[in-house]
Amino acid sequence: MALDFLAGCVGGAAGVLVGHPFDTVKVRLQVQNVEKPLYRGTFHCFQSIIKQESAFGLYKGIGSPMMGLTFINALVFGVQGNTLRALGKDTPLNQFLAGSAAGAIQCIICCPMELAKTRMQLQGTGEYKLKTKNYKNSLDCLIKIYRKEGLRGINRGMVSTLIRETPSFGFYFLTYDCMTRYLGCEAEDSYVIPKLLFSGGMSGIVSWLSTYPVDVIKSRLQADGVGGVTQYNGILDCVRKSYHEEGWRVFTRGLTSTLLRAFPVNAATFATVTVFLMYMRSEDDLRECEPGPVIQQPSSL
Ligand SMILES: NC(=[NH2+])NCCC[C@H](N)C(=O)O
C-alpha cells in the first residue's frame, strides 16, 4: 500500500530531472507574443535560452516541480494503485478509471505548482521582462500571488488543469498497462528494462496528446494577469480569443517540445516505479495479490 506512494516519489524525481528543460521550452512557446515572437520554434528556443541564460535557464522553475514532486507522484501512484485494488478487478476500464481518479486528485497540488513554475519560466523574458515582479523562487512566487490574490489566485487555472489531467492520467495508466502486457514484460526477461522504458515513454506521449489543447489554454490562463493586466475572462474567452487571433494552430504551440519531453520523462518515471516495486514488494505481498499481469506493474493488484 505505502510502497506505491514511495515508488511514485522515486520515479517522479527521475522524471523531473530528465524533462524540465523540455517543459521550459514548451511554456515559452505556448505564451510568447505572436506579433513579436522571441522564438522561431522548439530548437531555436532551446538554443536561445542556452545562449542568453546558460543551460541553467532551462532549469528555471524546477523548484516547484521538485517541491511538489514528493506529493504529486506519491499521490498519483498511491491513489491509482489503491483505487485499482478498491475497484477489485484489473481491467482496462478500471485502469482508466483509477488513473483518472489519481489525475483529478493530484490537481490540488499540480495546479499551484504549475502556476509558480509557469511564472518562473517566463520571468525576465520578452514582454514579461518588465511586467513580472521579481520572484526569488517558486515558493516566493506562490507567497506573493497568495498575498495579492488569496486562495483564488494560487488556484488560477484549476478548472483547466482538472479538464487536462483527469482524462490524460486515465490514458496514461491504460496505455502503460496495455503496452507492458502486449510486450510481455516479465521480471526474468533480459529485455524487460527497454520494454518498460518504451511502454512508459509511449504512455507519456499518448497522455499528452489526449488533452494537449487544454494545456495551451491552461498555460495562457496561468500566465495571464502578470503585471495586473488580465486578457482573459475564463476558459471559453481564452479559447475564443486564442483561436480568433491565431487559428487552430495555436492549440499545438509547444507540442514538439512537449512530446520530446514526454517520452524520456515518463520512460524514466514508469520504469523506475516498476523496477522499484518489483524489488521492494515482499514475496508475501506477491502471494496476496490476485494473479495479475506477468510483472508487478505500478498499478497491478
Ligand atoms: N497532462 C498529462 N499528460 N499528464 C499525464 C502525464 C504526467 C507526467 N507526470 C508528465 O509530466 O509527463
Identify the pLDDT of residue 95.
96
Residue 200 is classified by DSSP as H
Q: Given its phi and psi angles, is residue 291 left (phi above 0), alpha (psi -120 to 50 degrees) or beta?
A: beta
- Alpha carbon nearest to ligand 1 atom 6, residue: 204
> Quick count: other Cβ atoms within 10 Å of Cβ 242?
21
Model's pTM, two decimal places? 0.82
Residues 6+ apart with CB under 8 A from 232: 220, 221, 224, 238, 241
Phi and psi, residue 230, nearest 5°: -105, 135
Q: Locate cell 526569488: which residue?
A: 136
Ligand 1: which residues within 6 Å by Cβ?
164-165, 168-169, 172, 204, 207-208, 262, 265-266
Per-residue pLDDT of 90-146, as tens digits, reads 999 999 999 999 999 999 999 998 998 888 888 776 655 555 557 888 889 899 989
Note the pLDDT tens digit of each residue in 77-90: 999 999 999 999 99
Distance 204 CA to ligand 1 centre (A): 6
- Ligand 1: which residue has its CA nearest to atom 12? 262
* ipTM surpasses cut 0.90: yes
**Whether 31 contacts 97, CB under 8 Å:** no
Domain ranges of the chain: 69-156
Indicate the DSSP class of residue 91: -
Atom 5, ligand 1: residue with shortest CA distance? 169
DSSP line for 206-243: HHHHHTHHHHHHHHHHHHTTGGG----SSHHHHHHHHH
Ligand 1 centre distance from Cα of residue 174 (Å): 13
Our mutation pick for probing the ligand 1 site, out of 26, 163, 165, counting the most ligand atoms within 8 A of Cβ, is: 165
**What is the C-alpha separation between 253 and 251, in angstroms, rounded?**
6
Sign of CA dihedral 276, 278, 284, 290: positive
Q: What is the mean pLDDT of residues 56-77?
A: 82
Q: For residue 234, report the distance from its CA to the centre of ligand 1, in Å.
A: 23
Question: How far is it, in rounded angstroms, from Cα 210 to Cα 35?
Answer: 29
Provide Rg for the chain, Cα atoms: 20
